[in-house]
Structure 1
Amino acid sequence: MHQGSAENRLDQEVFRKVTGRFATGVAIATTLSGGVDHAMTVNSFASVSLDPLLVLICVEKIARFHAAVLDAGVFGVSILGQDGEDASRAFATRGLTLERQLDRWSHRRGSLGMALFDSAIATLECRTTAVHDAGDHSIVVGGVVSADVPRDAPPLLFHEGRYHRTGH
């Protein structure tokens, strides 16, 4: 079967529906490349290992963030609370102007210089340790350099194409 066929589109639709049933947290990944901040909403974020401390993010190869994070070799992750939907939507938008894109969002710089959102319920900074080809995405694995839980609040969730909030 070649790409673009009716069967492939149907498979992608079913796949999206099936994987959409898995509720995920929402995070914004950041990096700094050539002195320019880059940020992107991710729901493909996971812890990988406790020894050593490793996490992963999945980045679409056609996204500007892809080239930036590979070039920088470092990234930050800000895990969003229930009040983070606006930020999540903003950084899920393709083609955002890079210049001053973080001005609207209160953030601090971590030890690696990554922008970490002040409204996050948890943050990490990582050095890239491996990049794996994964179809139209790359799996970027990072060794955790810093981690923080700046505030206690319920997480923002994404399920079946919509944002959800927990009951607590």
Structure 2
Amino acid sequence: MSLTVAPESGVTLPFTSREFRNAMGQFATGVVVVTANTEGEVHAMTANSFMSGSLEPPLVLVSIAKSAKMHERITKAQSFGISILAQDQEWCSNHFAGKTHPVLVPNFVQLEHIPVVEGANVQVATVLRHAYECGDHTLFVGEVTALVQDQGPAPPLVFHAGKYAAIAGAN
């Protein structure tokens, strides 16, 4: 792999997967919990590779590693939930990233039979419409069938450069 330093210089430098990941980490993102219900069991994982895709029809996208258990679960369920986390839900993000809290345990509620995190700033239920292979990941495109937005949403949970961050001026 190579990285163009400046278009006019034509200078390229080799870079590793870790360097690429660190570079992409300079893009601040929100944090979501992706959920799926397979055979009556709720599965969840933390992600920051989420975005809206379209207003008409309302579509959202999430990128999931092919090696992740969630990849198979979304494929099997043909639906997924998205919970956009608030700044005070860092513990919840950590929980679904494998760093469980000794006392706090996230609760789920059902939104059109799709589990979402209770108390999230936004809860979204989707039906899977497309799945596009993208290297070692798959872009799952879900059509939004229902959403709930907190009437007084808290500042969002933000991730930047490998750690949580706060938005300046957010309460």
- Shift of the alpha carbon at 1:14? 2.2
Structure 2: tracts of 5 or more residues without a match: 2-12
Number of equivalences: 154
2:28 equivalent to 1:16: no
Find the counterpart in structure 1 of residue 147 from structure 2. Answer: 147
Find the counterpart in structure 2 of residue 131 from structure 1. Answer: 131
Find the counterpart in structure 2 of residue 76 from structure 1. Answer: 81
- Shift of the alpha carbon at 1:93? 2.1
- Shift of the alpha carbon at 1:139? 0.4
Find runs of 4+ consecutive structure 1 residues off by over 6 angstroms. none
How do residues 36-51 of structure 1 correspond to structure 2 at under 5 angstroms? Answer: 36-51=41-56
C-alpha distance in structure 1 between counterparts of 2:71 and 2:105, whole Å: 23
Higher gyration radius (CA): 2
C-alpha distance in structure 1 between counterparts of 2:93 and 2:73, whole Å: 19
Find the counterpart in structure 2 of residue 99 from structure 1. Answer: none
Name the SS for the 1:52 alignment partner. coil
Once the two structures are overlaid, the 10-residue window that deviates more, 12-21 or 25-34, is: 12-21
Name the SS for the 2:105 alignment partner. coil
Find the counterpart in structure 2 of residue 120 from structure 1. Answer: 120
How do residues 98-109 of structure 1 correspond to structure 2 at under 5 angstroms? Answer: 104-109=105-110
C-alpha distance in structure 2 between counterparts of 1:93 and 1:131, whole Å: 25
C-alpha distance in structure 1 between counterparts of 2:155 and 2:43, whole Å: 26
Q: What TM-score does the superposition give when structure 2 sets the normalisation length?
A: 0.84
Amino acid at match of 1:152: P
Q: What TM-score does the superposition give when structure 1 sets the normalisation length?
A: 0.85
Identity %: 36
Name the SS for the 2:16 alignment partner. helix
Name the SS for the 1:144 alignment partner. strand
Find the counterpart in structure 2 of residue 91 from structure 1. Answer: 96
Identify the structure with the greater helix proportion.
1
Structure 1: tracts of 5 or more residues without a match: 2-6, 97-102
Find the counterpart in structure 1 of residue 5 from structure 2. Answer: none
2:30 aligned residue (25, 31, 34): 25
